Chains A and B, each alone.
Chain A
Amino acid sequence: MSYVRGLKCRECGQNYPEKGVHVCETCFGPLEVQYDYAAMRGKVTRESIEAGPRNLWRYRDLLPIHGEPKSGLHSGLTPLKRARNLEKVLGVRELYIKDDAANYPTWSYKERVVSVAITKAIELGYDTVGCASTGNLANSVAAHAAEAGLRAFVMIPHDLEQGKVLGSLIFNPTMVRIQGNYDDVNRLCSEIADKYRWAIVNVNLRPFYTEGAKTFGFEIAEQMGWQLPKHTVCPTAGGTILPKIYKGYRELIDLGIVADNQPRIYSAQAAGCNPVVEAIRAGRDLIKPQKPKTIAKSIAIGNPADGFYVVQAVKESGGWGEDATDTEIVDAIKLLARTEGTWTEPAGGTTLAATIKLIESGRIPRDESICVCITGNGLKTVEVVVDQLEPPASIPPSLEAFDALMAGRESVDPAPASV
């Protein structure tokens, strides 16, 4: 039983049947999946969700598929951790880390959108999938396509981190490195989707793809015992995940699954690529595109297609936007690792750094619940910390040498860090 009722343009309201089409033919506005929420009432409940599988498909009633899931049967349900050590460091009462660095199989939030998009691609009869990617999406598309037996074409900017490149190649897709930045890749892919009959997951399957991001918010709610954090801080690149987490929250509220605590959502960007945060600060709806210059490559999107909807969701919820310099990003990566045992990529460092600044500026009160959205894994981006960590000592295999080392350390580092 599916509650999906086709597609509708978010701008002009024109209706479309479910197919591989990403923009409204009338106004170029993005298309949004429509559901019959009235029919869900009393049927989609805490109990119905809890009875579902231990993966992101436990929320399938709120996802745009008709048949059985074909991809992502082991994706989602990532840890939501109470970050007690970080609470003490930051001086806040209740802080959570939603950790998609642990999402299977390629360690980023992209498993969510790709699981839905690949299932939909198969439903719609495509045998080839593709994407324009800053790395994480390509990894996920390549892995899920391999498992589903689909042909995959992944297009990336030419200057990505090696971990992100190998993280796709190992799954044997056709990879093309485009000599330009992500926005150039994106534009090319929209032209490729026009010409070739492929399901480019974030282009012509975008309406379905983006719905998968809601599961990030659904999981936060369920893992907090069916309540919402008051403040959710989320990274912004193309602008997919933030509005969809907020939409997920609103859906749970409207279905009576969680209480309405008027959740606020905040956008985090790198200072070297902050078109959305800049618009939020200036009180503008219009996003002025930028040429990205930041180590946070996975969120270096200067022309975010859904940036407008990020601004809308932030504004509607009473949230805000904050950015972080490359130094602040690396410091936050190290802080999160040191205090909570979670190693994230620069996107996660950006989000934590922005959270800290939002707390310090008083935008986020210290005594209310806060959730930091970690969307990617640090193992893919070792380049950003390789010169930032103290190199380990090297000693002969003798206890004397070890004792000497310890004696030397005690003067500079008297006790293990206690928090």
Chain B
Amino acid sequence: MAVKVRIPTPLRSLTNGVDSLDASGADVQSVLAEVCQRFEGMDKRLFKQPGELNRFVNIYVNNEDIRFLDNLSTPVKDGDDLSIVPAIAGG
């Protein structure tokens, strides 16, 4: 199953400038595992430790923050959109 993964600017140094790619997996965890496997150094940028994202990494599936879904266990299906977004401020 292919999920479209969007890579934000700060991570594109690891992906040779690639800003989106297809990855597969049944849930967010397994999709991110494939992304981490494909690009060296990605794992450390995204995860504090296995199963725990860094504090400032937000993951969205089809525009919904996974913290409102089932976190890393959120299921994904063919054609879903997964965005990796750094947290930002505002008001």
Chain A interface residues (CB < 8 Å from chain B): 11, 21-30, 110, 131-134, 136-137, 180, 182-184, 186-187, 189-191, 193-194, 202-203, 206, 210, 237-240, 286, 288-289, 291, 298-299, 301, 303-306, 308
A28 touches B56 (CB 8 A): yes
Tell me whether A238 and B65 are in contact in the complex, defined as CB-CB below 8 angstroms, given that A28-B57, A29-B56, A187-B85 are known contacts.
no
Contact residues, B8-35 vs A (CB, 8 A) = 8-11, 13, 19
User: Chain B contact residues (Cβ within 8 angstroms of A): what range?
Assistant: 20 to 34
A189 touches B6 (CB 8 A): no
Smallest distance from the beta carbon of B41 to chain A beta carbons, Å? 9
Contacts of B87 on A, CB cut-off 8 Å? Answer: 23, 28, 30, 303, 305
Contact residues, B41-90 vs A (CB, 8 A) = 45, 54-58, 60, 63, 65, 67-68, 83, 85-90
Roughly how many angstroms separate A22 CA and B9 CA in the complex, as a whole number?
11
Instruction: List 26 A-B residue pairs with CB atoms under 8 Å apart, sorted by A's residue number.
Output: A24-B10, A26-B45, A28-B54, A29-B56, A30-B56, A30-B89, A136-B91, A137-B90, A137-B91, A180-B63, A182-B90, A186-B88, A187-B88, A189-B90, A190-B8, A194-B8, A202-B90, A203-B88, A238-B88, A238-B91, A240-B89, A289-B65, A303-B58, A305-B88, A305-B90, A308-B55
Tell me whether A186 and B90 are in contact in the complex, defined as CB-CB below 8 angstroms, given that A25-B10, A26-B45, A194-B8 are known contacts.
yes
- Identify which of B8, B58, B89 gathers the most chain A CB atoms within 10 Å of its CB: B89
Roughly how many angstroms separate A68 CA and B55 CA in the complex, as a whole number?
37
Contacts of B54 on A, CB cut-off 8 Å? Answer: 27-28
B13 touches A134 (CB 8 A): no
Roughly how many angstroms separate A28 CA and B56 CA in the complex, as a whole number?
6
B56 touches A240 (CB 8 A): no
